[in-house]
Amino acid sequence: MTLYKNEIPILEYDDEKMAVIMPTDEEYHAKLPTKCVFAFLGEETIEDFAKEHGAKKVTEFESVTKIYNVYQMTYQGHEVCFMHAPMGSVAAVQIMDWLIALGVREIMSAGSCGCLVDIPENTFIVPFKALRDEGASFHYLPPTRYVEVNRKALKAIERTLIDHGLNYTEVVTWTTDGFFRETRDIVKYRVEEGCSVVEMECSGLASCAEFREVIWGQILFTADSLADIEKHDKRNWGGDSFEYSLKLCLDAVVNIES
């Protein structure tokens, strides 16, 4: 195994699979199914869905700030677990790595994104490549500008959206961990290099999934807009798409062909 050193710490990379702290170090009572929905849709959306469908809480992830419940249910003949995902690449990657340690192998995420170009609110977007402007991904893959999303996941998403009769767009997304550092010049620069939307998790999760050799994909829906760089348009933060995108994720994870 090799440690690649660099003057810039975030560009250093160690390809060793084993770390001093591993997500398998602690004993957990749950063995999770291979299919999982890891959704950036708000805790209330997940909790209401679990209650409505009689899902069973099978384990939990306890962080310093809160406890994340993990539920399991039978969906279209498949055992699927699902949970609320935290905003931001660092927190999200930590929990997804833990889910993988408990047996998850096929993962779908849903969440909102900001528009960098003129796209109507509540439009479904499928990222096939993400610009790595966050930190977590660089601890899982060597430094590159982009990371691609798993092709099997993209195929399952495409099938799902077609089955639902939905129009969608495949895009390059800009993953950032600097929510309040999306400056006018950087937004213009990202658009010039082909990014259509911005969010905070895609490149981190795609990198973790590739490193751990599991399948992960994401369905995004448009929320706010930065298309007019002179004025941020919050719109309704994509609020009309929360429940439906969870349904799409469940269908998509079932459609993944191993």
Of 257, 256, 254, whose CA–CA distance to 81 is shortest?
254
14: in domain? no
Per-residue pLDDT, 24: 79
In a domain, 19, yes or no: no
Our count of domains for the chain comes to 1
The verdict on residue 163 lying in a domain is: yes
- Using 50 as the pLDDT threshold, list the residues of the chain that sit under it: none
- Is 8 inside any structural domain? no
pLDDT the model gives residue 224: 97
Residue pair 52/82 in contact by the 8 Å Cβ criterion: no
Contacts of the segment 51-55: beta carbons below 8 A, 24+ positions apart: 55/82
Helix, strand or coil for residue 50? helix
Cα dihedral across residues 104, 49, 252, 157: positive or negative? negative
pLDDT for 30? 73
Q: Residue 92 maps to which CATH number?
A: 3.40.50.1580
Classify the C-alpha dihedral 129-113-11-17 as positive or negative. negative
DSSP helix/strand/coil, 106: strand
In a domain? residue 7 = no
Strand 78-84, strand 56-62: pairing? unpaired
Contact criterion met (CB below 8 Å) for 108 and 124: no
Q: Give the per-residue pLDDT at 27.
A: 63
Among residues of the chain, what percentage have pLDDT more than 70? 98
Residue 141 lies in a domain: yes
**Is residue 241 assigned to a domain?**
yes
**pLDDT given at position 6:** 94
How would you class 178 by CB atoms within 10 Å of its CB: exposed for 0-12, middle for 13-18, buried for 19 or more?
exposed
**pTM attached to this predicted model:** 0.96
The residue assigned the tokens 């899902």 is 55
Q: Does some domain include residue 10?
A: no
For residue 42, give its domain range: 30-255
Q: What letter does residue 233 receive in the DSSP assignment?
A: B
